[in-house]
């Protein structure tokens, strides 16, 4: 939604975005609180037009004629979009929401019957269960790394110093331990 609001609030920014698009791209969409299909459309547009959106934001950032706050907002959006975590979420939610959309269309068709409905729910449950494993996570991670050209998680990049737990006055260090996770976990 933030991406849509940024581009849609200015005709100049919208034109910059459209100038980056080719025939394969989809324009960024607004989210709807009531229509799941709108969420599927929005995630599909972000996934399919990822590189073009980044390019448009970079154009806005590099153009000195734009206001400083607009350039700063574009820069922040680039940083957010190019993080491995955000790109993985774009890949993940695109796949999930497109599957929900396909099932929803199938369930709403006029020629559907009870057996087809039950099968659709079983397929959806099976699909969601299949996403909950290390292999699928690695697939999303690989796709995201290719999209955003980042190989590290933000937590791994930001973890320059080791954080130590605060030990209350009068207690010893014994018994206090700190678990560190890498960004992948």
Q: What are the pLDDT digits (tens) for 30-84?
A: 777 777 778 888 888 888 989 998 999 999 999 999 899 999 999 999 999 999 9
Task: Report the pLDDT value the prediction gives residue 166, as an integer from 0 to 100.
Answer: 75
Task: Report the pLDDT value the prediction gives residue 7, as an integer from 0 to 100.
Answer: 83
Q: Give the domain ranges of the chain.
A: 2-155
Question: In which element (H, E) is residue 157 found?
Answer: helix 154-158
Under 8 Å CB-to-CB from 58, ≥6 apart: which residues? 74, 78
Among 136, 121, 149, residue whose Cα is nearest residue 51: 149
Among 60, 83, 57, residue whose Cα is nearest residue 155: 83
Task: Report the pLDDT value the prediction gives residue 179, as an integer from 0 to 100.
Answer: 55
CA 173 to chain centre: 41
d(CA 142, CA 139): 5
Write the CA distances from 39 to 97, 101, 121, integer angstroms. 7, 9, 20
What are the residue ranges in the chain where pLDDT is below 70? 23, 154-165, 170, 172-185
Task: Report the pLDDT value the prediction gives residue 116, as an integer from 0 to 100.
Answer: 85
Q: DSSP letter string over 120-152? A: HHHHHHHHHHHTSSHHHHHHHHHHHHHHH---S
d(CA 136, CA 87): 15
């Amino acid at each position: 939604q933030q991406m849509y609001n940024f581009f849609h609030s200015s005709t100049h920014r919208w034109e910059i975005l459209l100038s980056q698009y080719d025939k394969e791209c989809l324009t960024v969409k607004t989210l709807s609180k009531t229509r799941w299909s709108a969420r599927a459309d929005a995630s599909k547009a972000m996934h399919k037009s990822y590189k073009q959106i980044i390019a448009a934001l970079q154009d806005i950032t590099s153009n000195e004629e734009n206001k400083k706050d607009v350039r700063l907002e574009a820069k922040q959006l680039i940083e957010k979009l190019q993080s491995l975590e955000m790109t993985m979420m774009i890949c993940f939610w695109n796949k999930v929401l497109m599957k929900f959309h396909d099932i929803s269309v199938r369930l709403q068709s006029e020629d559907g019957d009870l057996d087809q409905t039950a099968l659709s729910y079983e397929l959806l449950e099976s699909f969601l269960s299949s996403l909950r494993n290390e292999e699928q996570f690695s697939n999303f991670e690989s796709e995201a790394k290719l999209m955003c050209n980042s190989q590290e998680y933000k937590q791994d990049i930001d973890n320059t110093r080791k954080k130590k737990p605060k030990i209350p006055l009068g207690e010893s260090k014994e018994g206090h331990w700190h678990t560190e996770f890498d960004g992948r976990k």
